[in-house]
Every structure is written in structure tokens, then in C-alpha cells.
Chains A and B, each alone.
Chain A
């Protein structure tokens, strides 16, 4: 008989139906299991921050960041928990989406971008185009500015023509 190694058991998946999340009075995340077991000061991390933002969310506890398990998909959680975790992820991975490029001006080979994002207007500078602007498939662009802040353009071909022209000149 062929013996199958149970690879999926390694995953330690959390059953989304059996857990819920809320914030305590310290503004820390708390995970409560169906049986009433409570874990405080929870941190969450994305396994695939670039390719799968709301799947495979690692749940960690305390300062040691010991992994309690992985949530396969946020969408399977109850509405309140899902919203809370999405909010928390947004905060941990603060990556505003650029919705419009107003201008890119270069001074001493340092391009200065003036943009509008989904989090409001922003001006930033980039150290070097090759390392700090990453063009992924489908027109997706990731930008890291001189201070280490990150920005994303989900598909720059969908932006207005002028923005596209500005971006084209930089990538």
C-alpha cells in the first residue's frame, strides 16, 4: 500500500468558522476560539503580501511572535472579524495606491514624484529607478521611496493618460 505523507497537516490551519477576533481595551487584537479559549496581543502577517493579500494570514502571539496558525482566507471569517483583520493588515502593510501622478521632476538624478493616492496627496523622492521601482506583470508597479515608504499602482495602464506618460518616463 502506498503511504501518503499528510503534508497539509503541517500547515496548522485555523478553521475560520471556529474563531473570531476583537480588540480589547488596550487596542490589542484578541483571538477567541469556539471553546472560549482566548489569546491576547495577537499580531497578524501576510504570507504572500504581494500576490495574495487576503489569503494565508499568519496569526502570531505576544512578543515572541509564536505562530498560532494560519487563516486560509479572510473571506471565510465572520463579517466583524474580517473587517477588523483587514483594517489591521492595512495598518501593518501601509501601502497607499497611487491614483494619479501629477508630476515627476528630476533634480540631481533624484526623481521627485507628486501623486494622489487613496490615502491623500503625497510627495516623495526615489533613490534609484532600477532598485526602487518594480514593474510586475499586468502593469502593476511597486515603488519604494528614499525613506522606505511603499506605494503601489495596481495597473498603471488604467490611470489617466498624463499619469501613464509620467510613469512611462520612469520605468
Chain B
């Protein structure tokens, strides 16, 4: 029994069999037999979680299921294997093998192992082919169950689960590097940044002055006066008070007489005024400069993201929610701006303040300063704890809010249905339940919030208590001046604030880095379809389109088009026919080069579409979709979307050709009528005609009609058909339609079945051929006959 290393190329399929099981399989495997595959699974055949194993040698398959005692072992000789089946069930997967006479379930596995087990049948098939002769057309592998495409959920390099709102692995990403990169955007504004920093520094320093002034005021200005006054009625003072006076006299006595108290007081008041004025002026300037810096940077970033979004291929949009993409342009960039303009500035200011105050406190009185620090760890701890808790509560609150708004968004637009089914009462009850949940959440949040401030206030006051006791004692024993004491108390209040807010900074930092990472995720995505460096322009297209063995897959390994080859003559109209999901729209997507094909080539007039500039290609292609997308703006602007320079008579002519002129003239503002978001103010048929006018005006050389007339009533369809008839003249046209009657003008029809080109020819040829097309035709004429009755 040996494990050949070179035979097992996929490391995932070589799980170690635990030594405890070795003895159990000893007798079942011959000494010259080689283990080719060994897979561990996480559900045993009895349905309980636990390790079980599937082995494949060059002669047999073994399923080993430990269950406490002797493991249950199933064996099947490879020579008997008929089919290998993978079933994708709702909550788990099954690997089953069938022989001529029986079927054996070899392994159950959870969804976590779906990917790993997907590779197993191919390996077993290869082994079976070595063990017995397999006919060419014999299909060994069967895959059952709805296979849902799995979006990237785990990091490819480390296996870390990627949170839904993020696109890249949080473990592999360096947050500091990310913010560093973001700050790099401030480089062009380094002068602005430097000036704001200097102002910030100065402002912070100045804001620390008032307690120092107070100290000076008390110790050096008021005290001497106080002493003179007090000494006159010393007798009235208590013993304790007298002790302070006497202790004090020893210290500032030399100053008496050298300072003019009133003059000093005046200059102090003036200085305080100066400080207050300059502090506020600097504050205003700083806050403007910082905001400006932040706005400039986010402006750059926002434009860059938007420009990049337009460069990206459709595949980028397919993988992501529109909402999330929009959020990265608005919300995420906004949050970065907030971080830059406020969060960062606050952080720097707080750190500076802390450093300055610490320095001053220790300079004034190191012994007392140490006491100020005592409550700090408590404050840090409580802030972080509360912050965490508050965050959780707010998150829950936010979810309850979201539940209410989603209910509103659901019900208000559907109010007609509610009324029609007389369900007002039920909707009111539903709303009330959610509203009550919100109330309960809000009350809970209010409770926590109300607790937070008093607790923090109490903790900070602990500092005061300590300073009063220790500082007071020091004054009594003559080791501290009253001024120092007052300044200390003042600084202390300024000290705990920044500590608290620095503790909360972590949250802000995290939010900002998450936003930065989403923004950079967009910026770092390279477009799949890109103009290579050496592209030439597409000359005016004559209209010959040639597919050469084209194979294409949206997802790697799952091709939707296989080896497609055909040639379309200039000016020919081709109808694309096939079941939904056959690949018709995909053909159109790759002609427009929304995606690049995997192998083969698409040639237009002999030019490979990958070798010409994208814009020059798409400028000559016109598309009319089933659901035309109109932008919010006047009708005329929408018609001229493809050629903004079109003249008024061109626009009106195109509208007339598209049978759109009459209804446009019935709109209150004619061609200047706004269409509303997505053209909501027009009916489906009207929108369609606007989009046909758009295509006519563009004068494309290749025209694509994707279900352009489905979901229209007969009369509207007739009008649109008429308009389309004008549009397709002299252009190579690809038309997709489910209603085959709409393809009656097509020169030839292409029938696509499951990604393969199954039939090609004229309507009559295909009918004579009696294939898929003929069957579809029969079914549809049956239907229309029924409708006619």
C-alpha cells in the first residue's frame, strides 16, 4: 500500500487517513495496490457530523465510516462502476456510485466541501477508465441538483470568510497600508496640509494657556494682595487657615513688592483676551483648511472612482450589487472625507493635547501628575467596553429602522393591492409590530446612553477627588502652591476628554479603512475587456460578421457557447432562435465585445474585434433592447444619446422614422418633455420607439434587436415592426425573438441549443429539416390558433 505522489496532482484530494483506521483497511487492500485518492468528509453516512473517508485505489473504491466501534466499510471494485453521481441537495451533498446491480452512497458532505467533492467524480472516472474499457459515448459522471453558482465567499489565499459587505479578504489586507495609500492622495496638497498642521499645533498649544495664566494669576498676582489683606484680620482665622497662610508666606514672599498687582492683573486679562481671540480665529481657519483638504482629496477620489467605473467591463457589474457600487462612490468616499476632515484632525489634536498636558503636569509637579493618571486606565476600559456595547445596540437599532423602511418601501408602492384586497388592518398591524420593536430598541439605547455620561462623569470626578486630597495635603504641608493646584485641576479636565475620544477613535478608524478598502477594490480592478496598446481604429463596417470556433464562458470552466462557427453576409438579417438560456444574448454580448471570448475569434469585415479600439467598434453598433433604458432628461436628449451633436431636424426625422413623432407631439412639452427616471412617464411601446429612434439616429452598421417587440400589444407591435423595417435596411442585423413571427423578415435563422449551433438556414430550409425550429414553429402556430379562437 503506497501513496504515489506524482499521481495526485490535486492536493485537496489527498487527505491523510488517521492512523487509527489503518488497521481496519489493512486486509482490504492488497500489498501491490496503490491508493490514488483519499478524501475526508465532514458528515458520516449515518447523518451525524464526523470524519469519514473515501478512498480510491487502482482497483476499488472504499467508503470508511467510523462510528465508535469498528468502522463501517463499503467496497466497490472499479471494474463494476457504471456511473458516479454527485447530488447537490438543499443542505448537503451526496456522492453515489452505481454498478449493474446496485447503488451505493459512498459519502455525504456539507456545503463547505462541495467544491472539493466536485473534483472527485473526474478522478474516479479516470481510474475507472484504467480499470475497464469505457465506450466513447458512455457517460460516467452524473451531476444532479440545481447547481447554484457560488460567489466568492472565502479568500483564495488564506480561506478566511469574506464579510458580505466587503470584496477583499480582511485578513490579507493591511489596514495601515491602506490608509497610508489613502493619505497619499493628500500629497498634491502638501502645502495646505502643512499649513493646517502648523495651525493645529499652534492652536492646541494656545488652548493650554488659560490654566497656566490662572496659576500665575493666583500665585503671583492675587496671593500677595490676599496676604496683605489677610494679615490685618489674622486673628479671625481658624487655626487651619492660619497654618496655610503661614506655610504660604514662606514661598511667594520674595515676590511682594516686585509686582504691581493691578498692572499684572490687567496684562493677564489682556493676555487671556488675546489667547481666546487667537484660539478661536486659528480654530476657524484650521477647520476651514482641513475641510478644504478633505473635500479636495475626496473630489479627486470620487472622480477617479467614477472614471474607473466606466472603464470596467460588464463582468465587474455582474458580480456585484448595483447598490454596493453606488455606495462606494457616495457613501464610502463620503466617510473617507469625514475621517480626513474630522476624525484624523481630532485624533492628532487629542494626541498633541495629551502630550502637552502630560509634559506640563509633570513639569509642574511630577508627584501630583502621577496621581492624575490613576483614573486613566478605568476611563479607557469603560469607554472601550461601552463603545463596544453601544455599537452593538446602535447596530440593532439601525436594523430595526431598516426593517421599518423596507416595510414602507414594500407597502406604499403596493397600496393599490392593499386596498383591492382590503388588507389595511393587517398592514397597520405589521407596521405596529415593527414600530414597537423599534421603540423597545430605542428605549434600551436611551438607557445605555443615559448611563454612559454619568459613569464617565463619575470616573473623571475620581481624578478630582484624588487631586483634592493629595494636592490639598501637599498645599497644607507646603509642597504645592495654590496656583499649581488650580492649574492642575484645570488641566485634568482637559486631559480626560482626549483620552475618552482616542478610545473611540478605533471605531472610526475601522469604518474609514473599510471604506478605503472598498474604494480601492474598485480602483484596483482591471477591466477584462481593455483596449490594448497597439489597437487600430475599426474602419467603416461593411457588415460581414464571422464566428470562428468561438467558445465563451462567463464563469471559468462553465462554457455557455461551444465552438460556434458561422458567417453572416453584409446587410443580412439573422434571427437568433432558441430556448431561454440557450446563449442567444451571449452571442450579442460578445459581438459588442462586452466580454472577451475564451477561444476562437470573432471577425467583422476580417478584423478581429479584440484588435480594434472599443469605441470605434461600438460606435458602429446599435442596440434596441426589450426593456429600453431611457435616462432622466428631455425626449430629444434621449434620442440623441448616441450622437449628442445631432441637429434638430435629424432628431425629428429619426423620431418620425421610428413612429414616435406623433406621441411625442402629444406630450405637453413636445421634444422638450422630461421623461422622468428611466422614462417612467412613457408607456412600454413608447419607450421602445424612442430607443429605436435613438438607434436610427446613430446609423449603426450592425444592428442588434434583443426581444425588441415582445411584451407589446398587437397594434403597438405593428407600429414598431414598421419602424424596425426602416431601421434594418442595408444593415447587418441580429434579432432575438421568442415570437417567431417577428422574425419573418430574417434572411436566415440561427438555432442555438444549450450553447451549440444546432441549425442554420432560411425559414423554409429549417422547416424542411424538421428539427428544433420546426418543432418550435408548430408549437407557436398551435398557440396562435388557440389565441385566435
B526 partner residues in chain A, CB cutoff 8 A: none
A128 partner residues in chain B, CB cutoff 8 A: 163-165
Supposing A26-B102, A147-B153 touch, asked if A94 and B43 sit within 8 A by C-beta, the answer is yes
* Pair B111/A148 contact, Cβ less than 8 Å: yes
Supposing A92-B90, A108-B170, A127-B153 touch, asked if A149 and B111 sit within 8 A by C-beta, the answer is yes
Q: Shortest distance in angstroms between A146's beta carbon and chain B's nearest beta carbon?
A: 4
Which residue of chain A is the closest to B173 with respect to CB atoms? A108
Q: How many angstroms between the C-alpha atoms of A131 and B110 in the bound complex?
A: 20
Question: Of A49, A95, A127, A149, which is within 8 A of B112 by CB?
Answer: A149
* Pair B49/A117 contact, Cβ less than 8 Å: yes
Which residues of A in the span 69-99 have a Cβ within 8 Å of any Cβ on B?
Answer: 90-96
Which residue of chain A is the closest to B103 with respect to CB atoms? A26
* Pair B144/A27 contact, Cβ less than 8 Å: no
Q: How many angstroms between the C-alpha atoms of A124 and B110 in the bound complex?
A: 11
Say which one of B91-99, B603-611, B640-648 lies at the interface with A.
B91-99
Q: How many angstroms between the C-alpha atoms of A15 and B164 in the bound complex?
A: 46
Question: Of B89, B96, B101, B154, which is within 8 A of A94 by CB?
Answer: B89
Q: Shortest distance in angstroms between B161's beta carbon and chain A's nearest beta carbon?
A: 4
* Pair B153/A119 contact, Cβ less than 8 Å: no
* Pair A122/B49 contact, Cβ less than 8 Å: yes
Which residues of B in the span 79-125 have a Cβ within 8 Å of any Cβ on A?
Answer: 89-92, 94, 96, 98, 101-105, 108, 110-112, 114
Question: Of A94, A126, A130, which is within 8 A of B110 by CB?
Answer: A94
Supposing A27-B103, A94-B90, A146-B154 touch, asked if A125 and B49 sit within 8 A by C-beta, the answer is no
Encode B497-522 as 1/0 by CB contact (under 8 A) with A. 00000000000000000000000000
A96 partner residues in chain B, CB cutoff 8 A: 49
* Pair B92/A91 contact, Cβ less than 8 Å: yes
Encode A1-40 as 1/0 by CB contact (under 8 A) with B. 0000000000000000000000001111000000000000
- B171 in contact (CB, < 8 A): yes
B89 partner residues in chain A, CB cutoff 8 A: 91-94
B557 partner residues in chain A, CB cutoff 8 A: none
- B48 in contact (CB, < 8 A): yes
A93 partner residues in chain B, CB cutoff 8 A: 89-91
- B162 in contact (CB, < 8 A): yes
Which residues of B in the span 729-768 have a Cβ within 8 Å of any Cβ on A?
Answer: none
Question: Of A26, A109, A120, which is within 8 A of B50 by CB?
Answer: A120
| Of listed B94, B102, B148, B163, residue having the most chain A CB within 10 A | B163
- B392 in contact (CB, < 8 A): yes
A94 partner residues in chain B, CB cutoff 8 A: 43, 47, 89-92, 108, 110
* Pair B101/A25 contact, Cβ less than 8 Å: yes
Q: How many angstroms between the C-alpha atoms of A124 and B111 in the bound complex?
A: 11
- A58 in contact (CB, < 8 A): no
Q: How many angstroms between the C-alpha atoms of A119 and B48 in the bound complex?
A: 4
Q: Shortest distance in angstroms between A92's beta carbon and chain B's nearest beta carbon?
A: 5
B112 partner residues in chain A, CB cutoff 8 A: 124, 145, 147, 149
Supposing A93-B91, A94-B91, A127-B153 touch, asked if A108 and B163 sit within 8 A by C-beta, the answer is yes
Supposing A119-B49, A127-B163 touch, asked if A28 and B170 sit within 8 A by C-beta, the answer is no
* Pair A169/B392 contact, Cβ less than 8 Å: yes
Which residue of chain A is the closest to B44 with respect to CB atoms? A120
- A121 in contact (CB, < 8 A): yes
* Pair B164/A127 contact, Cβ less than 8 Å: yes
- A155 in contact (CB, < 8 A): no
Supposing A110-B161, A147-B153 touch, asked if A121 and B103 sit within 8 A by C-beta, the answer is no
- A150 in contact (CB, < 8 A): yes
- B399 in contact (CB, < 8 A): yes
- B150 in contact (CB, < 8 A): yes
Question: Of A63, A120, A130, A147, which is within 8 A of B48 by CB?
Answer: A120
Q: Could you tell me how many residues of chain A have their Cβ less than 8 Å away from some Cβ of chain B?
A: 37
- B160 in contact (CB, < 8 A): yes
A127 partner residues in chain B, CB cutoff 8 A: 153, 161-164
Which residue of chain B is the closest to A96 with respect to CB atoms? B49
Q: Shortest distance in angstroms between A149's beta carbon and chain B's nearest beta carbon?
A: 5
Q: How many angstroms between the C-alpha atoms of A94 and B148 in the bound complex?
A: 17
Q: How many angstroms between the C-alpha atoms of A96 and B162 in the bound complex?
A: 24
A132 partner residues in chain B, CB cutoff 8 A: 164
* Pair A147/B111 contact, Cβ less than 8 Å: yes
* Pair A25/B103 contact, Cβ less than 8 Å: yes
* Pair A150/B91 contact, Cβ less than 8 Å: yes
* Pair B49/A147 contact, Cβ less than 8 Å: no
Encode B7-46 as 1/0 by CB contact (under 8 A) with A. 0000000000000000000000000000000000001000
Q: How many angstroms between the C-alpha atoms of A127 and B154 in the bound complex?
A: 10
Q: How many angstroms between the C-alpha atoms of A122 and B42 in the bound complex?
A: 10
Which residue of chain B is the closest to A25 with respect to CB atoms? B102
* Pair B105/A27 contact, Cβ less than 8 Å: yes
Supposing A92-B89, A146-B154 touch, asked if A108 and B160 sit within 8 A by C-beta, the answer is yes
B163 partner residues in chain A, CB cutoff 8 A: 108-110, 127-128
Q: How many angstroms between the C-alpha atoms of A135 and B162 in the bound complex?
A: 23
B150 partner residues in chain A, CB cutoff 8 A: 148
Q: How many angstroms between the C-alpha atoms of A93 and B98 in the bound complex?
A: 23
Q: Shortest distance in angstroms between A122's beta carbon and chain B's nearest beta carbon?
A: 5
Which residue of chain A is the closest to B162 with respect to CB atoms? A127
Q: Shortest distance in angstroms between B285's beta carbon and chain A's nearest beta carbon?
A: 38
| Of listed B91, B110, B144, residue having the most chain A CB within 10 A | B91
B49 partner residues in chain A, CB cutoff 8 A: 96, 117, 119-122
Which residue of chain A is the closest to B46 with respect to CB atoms? A119
| Of listed A90, A119, A132, residue having the most chain B CB within 10 A | A119
Which residue of chain B is the closest to A118 with respect to CB atoms? B48
Q: Shortest distance in angstroms between A40's beta carbon and chain B's nearest beta carbon?
A: 11
Q: Shortest distance in angstroms between A158's beta carbon and chain B's nearest beta carbon?
A: 21
Q: How many angstroms between the C-alpha atoms of A10 and B212 in the bound complex?
A: 90
| Of listed A130, A148, A169, residue having the most chain B CB within 10 A | A148
B108 partner residues in chain A, CB cutoff 8 A: 91, 94
Q: How many angstroms between the C-alpha atoms of A95 and B91 in the bound complex?
A: 6
* Pair A149/B104 contact, Cβ less than 8 Å: no
Q: Shortest distance in angstroms between B552's beta carbon and chain A's nearest beta carbon?
A: 27
Q: Shortest distance in angstroms between B116's beta carbon and chain A's nearest beta carbon?
A: 11
Q: How many angstroms between the C-alpha atoms of A148 and B170 in the bound complex?
A: 20
Q: Shortest distance in angstroms between B376's beta carbon and chain A's nearest beta carbon?
A: 27
Q: Shortest distance in angstroms between A166's beta carbon and chain B's nearest beta carbon?
A: 13
- 9 smallest A-B Cβ distances: which pairs? A94-B91, A26-B103, A128-B164, A108-B170, A120-B49, A94-B92, A147-B112, A148-B111, A146-B161
Report 28 cross-chain contacts, Cβ distance below 8 Å, ordered by A residue.
Answer: A25-B101, A26-B98, A26-B102, A27-B102, A27-B105, A28-B103, A92-B89, A93-B90, A94-B91, A94-B108, A108-B163, A108-B170, A119-B43, A119-B48, A120-B48, A120-B50, A121-B49, A126-B161, A130-B399, A145-B111, A145-B112, A146-B161, A147-B153, A148-B150, A149-B91, A149-B92, A149-B112, A169-B392
Sample of 19 more A-B contacts, CB < 8 Å, known A120-B48, A148-B111:
A25-B103, A26-B98, A26-B102, A27-B104, A91-B47, A91-B89, A92-B89, A94-B43, A94-B108, A108-B160, A109-B170, A125-B161, A146-B161, A147-B153, A148-B148, A148-B150, A149-B91, A150-B91, A169-B392
What residues of chain B have their CB less than 8 Å away from a CB belonging to chain A? 43, 47-50, 89-92, 94, 96, 98, 101-105, 108, 110-112, 114, 144, 148, 150, 153-154, 160-165, 170-171, 392, 399, 402
